């Protein structure tokens, strides 16, 4: 992958089919912060799992300034496709959390023949005031609590650059008009859009936009008593919903 290092972990579920679920983490995440959720979902769905640290996160290479454009989510689709090619994975199911969910949608739109299904969790397709307010609160926590130290356990000396890239991009004036809804009709595979009812970074309008505009079959799952990370806050319910969705829509 040129001179970049992308940290990848693969898990094989017992009695798994050839299908792979590829997990795309959120804007502050990495492989370790998924905890054991990918393994549990893969075992329940009888698939393999592939998890990687996106460029600039975890144990992957730091991103250079010119690798983090304003449209960085669109740009990360190319890295995803490189990872899939290097790992010889065809037609995966993409499970994306937050930014990772947006990347999953973009990949399914840009490479519709290459993606079997998409599951998003707290994905964004346009900017909302709730999103910006949530990021402002995260910046305050980073300044006044031990959030930076906790993130450094996973991202090391990349932490400050990673955090600044996320917050300053989303809060910049030029990002206010960011919108990927025009990509959604190009998505033909099944899509499950998950969101916590108490999501601090987005509203129901995000999932409604996704399911109303994609061309393939689409479902929503709104998780009660959950915020931006339902897979942590309501793990069993999310796994069951995902497995039911995959059984209904995929033949594997």
Distance between alpha carbon 210 and the CA centroid of its chain, in Å? 14
Summarised one tens digit per residue, pLDDT across range 131-184 is 999 999 999 999 999 999 999 999 999 999 999 999 999 999 999 999 999 999
pTM for the predicted model, two decimal places: 0.96
Q: Give the CATH number, domain containing residue 242.
A: 3.40.50.1820
User: Tokens representing 153?
Assistant: 């356990």
Measured N-to-C along each axis, helices 99-110 and 72-86 cross at an angle, to the nearest 10 degrees, of 70
Q: Of 113, 107, 106, nearest to 90 (Cα)?
A: 113
**Residue 118 included in any domain:** yes
What confidence category does residue 16 fall into, taking pLDDT thresholds of 50, 70 and 90?
confident
User: Tokens representing 97?
Assistant: 């959390």
Residue whose entry in the numeric block shows the structure tokens 């900017």: 127
**Residue 1 included in any domain:** no
**Residue 172 included in any domain:** no
DSSP state of 18: S
Q: Which domain, by its residues, includes 214?
A: 8-126+180-249
How many CB atoms neighbour CB 175 within 10 A?
14
**Residue 140 included in any domain:** no
In the predicted model, is pLDDT for residue 39 greater than 80? yes
Burial of 236 per CB tally in 10 Å (0-12, 13-18, 19+): exposed
Residue whose entry in the numeric block shows the structure tokens 């079959």: 217
**Residue 137 included in any domain:** no
Q: Of 127, 123, 131, 152, nearest to 214 (Cα)?
A: 123
What confidence category does residue 69 fall into, taking pLDDT thresholds of 50, 70 and 90?
low
Summarised one tens digit per residue, pLDDT across range 198-221 is 999 999 999 999 999 999 999 999
What confidence category does residue 68 fall into, taking pLDDT thresholds of 50, 70 and 90?
low
If DSSP codes are grouped into helix, strand and coil, which group holds residue 168?
Answer: helix
In the predicted model, is pLDDT for residue 1 greater than 90? no
**Residue 14 included in any domain:** yes
Averaged pLDDT score across all residues of the chain: 95
DSSP state of 87: T
Res 14: pLDDT: 80
The structural domain count of the chain equals: 1
**Residue 135 included in any domain:** no
Q: Of 94, 132, 118, 120, nearest to 195 (Cα)?
A: 120
**Residue 154 included in any domain:** no
């Amino acid at each position: 992958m040129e001179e970049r290092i992308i940290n990848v972990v693969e898990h094989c579920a017992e009695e798994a089919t050839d299908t792979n679920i590829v997990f795309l983490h959120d804007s502050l995440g990495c492989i370790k912060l998924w905890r054991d959720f990918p393994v549990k979902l893969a075992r329940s769905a009888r698939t393999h799992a592939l998890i990687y640290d996106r460029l600039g996160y975890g144990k992957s290479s730091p991103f250079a300034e010119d690798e983090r454009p304003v449209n960085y989510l669109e740009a990360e689709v190319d890295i995803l496709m490189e990872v899939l090619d290097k790992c010889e994975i065809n037609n995966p199911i993409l499970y994306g959390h937050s930014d990772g969910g947006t990347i999953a949608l973009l990949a399914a739109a840009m490479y519709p023949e290459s993606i079997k299904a998409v599951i998003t969790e707290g994905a964004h397709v346009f900017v909302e005031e709730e999103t910006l307010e949530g990021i402002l609160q995260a910046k305050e926590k980073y300044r006044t609590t031990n959030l930076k130290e906790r993130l450094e356990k996973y991202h090391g000396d990349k932490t400050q650059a990673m955090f600044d890239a996320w917050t300053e991009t989303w809060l910049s004036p030029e990002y206010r008009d960011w919108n990927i809804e025009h990509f959604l009709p190009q998505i033909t595979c099944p899509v499950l859009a998950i969101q916590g009812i108490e999501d601090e970074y987005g509203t129901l309008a995000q999932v409604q936009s996704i399911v109303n505009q994609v061309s393939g079959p689409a479902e929503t799952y709104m998780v009660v008593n959950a915020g931006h990370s339902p897979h942590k806050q309501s793990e069993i319910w999310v796994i069951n919903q995902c497995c039911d969705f995959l059984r209904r829509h995929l033949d594997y």
